[in-house]
Structure 1
Amino acid sequence: MLERKRVKGRTQVTFILPEDTPGGPVSVVGDFNHWNPAAHPLESRGDGTRAATVALPAHSAHSFRYLAADDHWFDEEHADGHDGLNSRVHT
């Protein structure tokens, strides 16, 4: 799931997954962090979910995917779209 919040010309996008699906660590990686899995690991929120928030320029579009343990890449089911292998988010 994606949540968005406008803050001073930028959009904070929060990437949210269930706490245990998939098991193990998960990161959101995309063109906004040079596909670096260490940049935005999802952290537990205490409500049964885990999330990472990224500040992106307003009125832009970005490609991203999730990376879980054992090199398991997967897409966001509720993304704004897809461009081949990647999910897309519009701010």
Structure 2
Amino acid sequence: MLERIRTKNRTEVTFVLPAGHPAGEASVVGDFNDWRPGAHPFAARPDGTRAASIVLPADERVAFRYLAHGDYWFDDEAADSHDGRNNVLHT
């Protein structure tokens, strides 16, 4: 799931994973962090979900995926689109 707060020049994006899925540590990786695993880890929220937030410039196209423990890559069905390999987000 994606949560967005847009202002004139930027968009704060919060990537959200459901409670318990996947088990173990996970992070969001993409163009915005040079695809570095662990650069934006998910943190637990009071409702049991996990989230990672980043601020991006407005009006950009960003590719991203999620990476969990054990080299498990997975997608976000709430992404704006998919380019055949990655999720795509339009800020």
Q: Percent identity?
A: 60
In structure 1, C-alpha distance between the alignment counterparts of 2:18 and 2:25, rounded to whole Å: 12
Moved >4 Å (runs of 4+): none
Flag the structure with higher strand content: 1
Any unmatched runs of 5+ in structure 1?
none
**Partner of 1:77 in structure 2?**
77
In structure 2, C-alpha distance between the alignment counterparts of 1:50 and 1:8, rounded to whole Å: 27
**Partner of 2:68 in structure 1?**
68
Secondary structure, counterpart of 1:70 in structure 2: coil
Any unmatched runs of 5+ in structure 2?
none
| Partner AA of 2:58 in structure 1 | A
Q: CA RMSD in A?
A: 0.9
Q: Is the 8 A contact 2:29 2:64 kept in 1?
A: yes
